[in-house]
Structure 1
Amino acid sequence: MKIERLTKTLSFWVFLLLLIVTLTSCGFRNSPEGITITLSGWQSNPNEKQLLEQVLHQFEVQHPHIKVKHETINDQYMDVIKTRLIGDAAPDVFYLDAFEAPLLMKYGVLEPLNPYIDAQFDLTDFEPTLLKAFQLEERTYGLPKDFSTLALFYNKQAFQEVGINQAPQTWDELRDDSKKLTVDKNRDGRKEQYGFGVAPELSRQYFIMTAFGGRLIDRQENAAFFTSGSLKGLQLVIEQYRKDQSSAQPSDVGASTGSEMFGQGKAAMVLEGTWAIPYLQETFPKLEFATAEVPTVNGKKGTMAYTVAYVMNKKAKHKEAAWQLIAYLTSKEGMKAWAKEGLALPTRKSVLAELGFVDNPLYAPFAKGADYATIWQSGETLPTILTHFNNQFISALIGEQSLRDALRKAQRSANEEIQSAR
């Protein structure tokens, strides 16, 4: 009996031990140990990837159970992301431009972040207009990581040479200053220096249209920019280019960007984002330049704002870990480490102030612009509208057709494509 009882006791303990081992092993399999989160984005500057890698390293130090696999996609980024979303192979966390956000939010491929956000995270610290770009029907689908507005860059030496003492405050002043700053023609027929460098793209002209009540879409998200307001705003750009002959596109002077033509001295003024500051300082170190808020148009302050958010894939396997990554990258700590180089501005108001951008003469105009900027976003049909607008507007700019005809054609062709896709 004693042997039988001993055998049963040993069997019980062996069974209990096996059960504990089994449960423990299952626990290890389901624990955060060894979790890998994929993060995809693009690289607009060589320093950008290096800065992000440093931030990701700090995240892994603080979260040793999570590893981050960082992927840079510079070619056809959104096409790659959309293809992977369709094929259930998208990254757990990825960059999303406000321009593309409406489409992905509408079709439910993003994880709503509301259940993960608590009071300690403090959403009120984000610039409201930037956060709103990633919200739909009271759900937050992304947290903006950084942003830039447009500001006026001007060549201080060029201003001094023609006796201009301050940056223009209104668009009329900008046109007058542009005429003074435009230098006579060279032997090849081109001007040595234009007063203003213009980027004839919808993403740069939208705020001028809104200053006169213009818009891009109607309630059904059809193209609706052929209005008197849009015509009034854009006519200012056309007249300066064709009538005044005091502005030029980058391609007119052999440059690829507004920043480049400004740095080369081909334009005394341009509207550019914060990304131009480190570029100009590194590429044209002898250039003396300053920045100012965009001159008012039709008596109204205006500029454009471009922002990108971290979003979570709806089908992410480790959503809690993915949220921890997003939360860290957009926390005060993570954002300070990311934004300190000035490639773009932090979206948290506290970080913007702490890093000194609001008091820095070069960056202050960009920070101020966040209060009244037009976000580069306007429904899911905007990519289609953009293509048709740009094609026709450039044609009007160089005099191939009137602005009225150009906008009418652009709106009609855009809506034909939009309707055919529905």
Structure 2
Amino acid sequence: MWKNFKRIGLVMFLALLVVGLAGCGGKTESKEKKTLTVGFWKGDSTTEDAARKKAFSKFTDKTGIAIKEKVYNDYDTQLMTDFVGGTAPDVFYVDASSIPTFYEQGALEPLDKYIDKQKDYDAADFYEPIYKAFKGEDGATYGVPKDYSTLGFYYNEDLLAKAGMSSTDIPKDYSELEGFLTKLKEKLPDVQPMVFSALLARQVYIAESTGGKIVDKEGHANLNDKKVVEALQILVDLYKKGLIRTADDLGDGWAGDTFGRGGAVISDEGTWMISHLTNNFKDLKWGVTELPTVNGKKGNMAYTVSYSMNSGSKNKDDAWKLINFLTHDAMADYASEASVLPTRKSVADKINVASDEHLSPFAAAADYATPWQDGPYLSLISSRYDNMITSALKGEMPLEKAMKEASDSANQDIENQMK
């Protein structure tokens, strides 16, 4: 715009003034708006996306720090590529199962020094199993959990009534499950008694219910441990009798569709199925109850995601401000608006989770559920299990042999990666 001035002397004066101000250093720079980049995967619902954006906006209003969103499709792969390239976000989602991998790569900033300075933090306010899922081998905290899910027994009210039963007839222990499902099959021969997912991520609490461990102390697969095989046998027995089937067996993409269309009376799924049923099967009458105990002991799975900090971030203090804000100040609104379970007990009380007929059974398991996290090779071990368990279920090979092949295959790959 300077060309509009006709008096050259004034132009020179103003030009010198600009140079002089620039030489004063940080005063002009301090007025520049700070920005944090946050990485995440696309939400399971539009309500979740909207709730996250609202939380980001409130943080900006409070601090003046802008948020730049970075959405990934192939999350872990793309995020790790960004770490290699030096373009990873300041703050990002980490699934609990991925903590060991990112920890070994040195990608995560330990958060304990920030937590210690945060007077209102209160680590004891988090559900213990969920909070501990983000600890590294060194005992440091590498993420703060933002929300979680456990598993529950979904039940179709109309189908139970048609079979002359109600939710009170659902077994309290797995030892009673066969009798219950058998009765359903007799009363409703055209309906599958139960649809389930044949995935290790869903069945660790069963596999370890007799004292076995799916991963040994060295991080190797231990699926063929006699105690693990013994515990899993109940699934094989139920499957052989036609009492449980996978969604794929029934011609569906996932259990939510099988259950939603009335193709199964029972489904063991997480909170993610609530929005699916609510949005796509509005006339369905359904409820949820806690999972039955296994061998008389409570068991469940916990799936949780953290906000974690990039160890290479140049904005660590501001990154912590965001993490603390999202997992403290904004948690109640986010949980309510996104229909997810808050990881803080005080927030669960504030938004009355215990009185929610659909969420309360999942929240009841938060204090005893097994987090889906067990070393850097868990995803590899899981994939081998998922491949081989089907052969055992369908009677193509004994369960013990299937689990041995799964372990041997996984451990061979693990040894190759260790070299």
Query: Would the TM-score normalized by the shorter structure come out above 0.5?
Result: yes
| Distance in 2 of aligned mates of 1:223 and 1:274 | 29
What is the deviation of 1:297? 1.0
- Specify whether residues 340 and 401 from structure 1 end up closer, same or farther in structure 2 by C-alpha distance, changes over 3 A only: same
Correspondence for 2:3: none
Correspondence for 1:67: 66
What is the deviation of 1:268? 0.3
Contact 1:178 1:194 in 2 (8 A): no
Correspondence for 2:180: 177
Structure 1 unaligned residues grouped into runs of 5+: 1-16, 186-190
| Distance in 1 of aligned mates of 2:93 and 2:104 | 17
Asked if 1:396 corresponds to 2:392, the answer is yes
> 1:132-166: CA deviations, max 9, x gaps?
11112231110000000001111111111222231
> 1:11-45: CA deviations, max 9, x gaps?
xxxxxx9999567532443x373211111111222
> 1:41-98: CA deviations, max 9, x gaps?
112222211111111111111111x11011222x211110111112211111110000
| Distance in 1 of aligned mates of 2:341 and 2:23 | 48
- The 3-state SS of whatever aligns with 1:362 is coil
1:128-143 mapped onto 2 (5 Å cutoff): 128-136=128-136, 137-143=138-144
Correspondence for 1:102: 100
TM-score using structure 1 length: 0.90
Equivalent pairs, count:
396
What is the deviation of 1:356? 1.1
Contact 1:183 1:194 in 2 (8 A): no
- Specify whether residues 18 and 363 from structure 1 end up closer, same or farther in structure 2 by C-alpha distance, changes over 3 A only: closer
1:377-392 mapped onto 2 (5 Å cutoff): 377-392=373-388
Correspondence for 1:330: 327
The residue type paired with residue 45 of structure 2 is N
| Distance in 2 of aligned mates of 1:207 and 1:23 | 64
TM-score using structure 2 length: 0.90
The residue type paired with residue 177 of structure 2 is L
Q: 168, 173, 182: which one pairs with 2:171?
A: 168
Q: Structure 1 residue runs of 4+, over 6 Å off?
A: 17-20
Root-mean-square deviation (CA, aligned residues, Å) is: 1.9
Contact 2:47 2:338 in 1 (8 A): no
| Distance in 2 of aligned mates of 1:20 and 1:337 | 48
| Distance in 2 of aligned mates of 1:24 and 1:183 | 85
The residue type paired with residue 99 of structure 1 is S
- The 3-state SS of whatever aligns with 2:155 is strand
Asked if 1:207 corresponds to 2:197, the answer is no
Q: 85, 88, 91: which one pairs with 2:89?
A: 91
Correspondence for 2:231: 233
> 1:260-303: CA deviations, max 9, x gaps?
11111111001111111121122111111111110011111101
- Specify whether residues 112 and 279 from structure 1 end up closer, same or farther in structure 2 by C-alpha distance, changes over 3 A only: same
What is the deviation of 1:119? 2.3
| Distance in 2 of aligned mates of 1:293 and 1:265 | 21
Contact 2:175 2:295 in 1 (8 A): no
Asked if 1:284 corresponds to 2:281, the answer is yes
Contact 2:290 2:362 in 1 (8 A): yes
The residue type paired with residue 228 of structure 1 is K
The residue type paired with residue 249 of structure 2 is D
What is the deviation of 1:309? 0.1
| Distance in 2 of aligned mates of 1:156 and 1:313 | 47
> 1:344-394: CA deviations, max 9, x gaps?
200011111111112222211111101110111100111111111111111
Correspondence for 2:254: 257
Asked if 1:122 corresponds to 2:122, the answer is yes
- Specify whether residues 259 and 47 from structure 1 end up closer, same or farther in structure 2 by C-alpha distance, changes over 3 A only: same
Structure 2 unaligned residues grouped into runs of 5+: 1-16
Asked if 1:301 corresponds to 2:298, the answer is yes
Correspondence for 2:53: 53
| Distance in 1 of aligned mates of 2:85 and 2:393 | 42
- The 3-state SS of whatever aligns with 1:214 is coil
The residue type paired with residue 280 of structure 1 is L
| Distance in 2 of aligned mates of 1:322 and 1:50 | 21
Correspondence for 1:5: none
Correspondence for 1:156: 157
- The 3-state SS of whatever aligns with 2:77 is helix
> 1:374-416: CA deviations, max 9, x gaps?
1111001111111111111112112221111100000001000
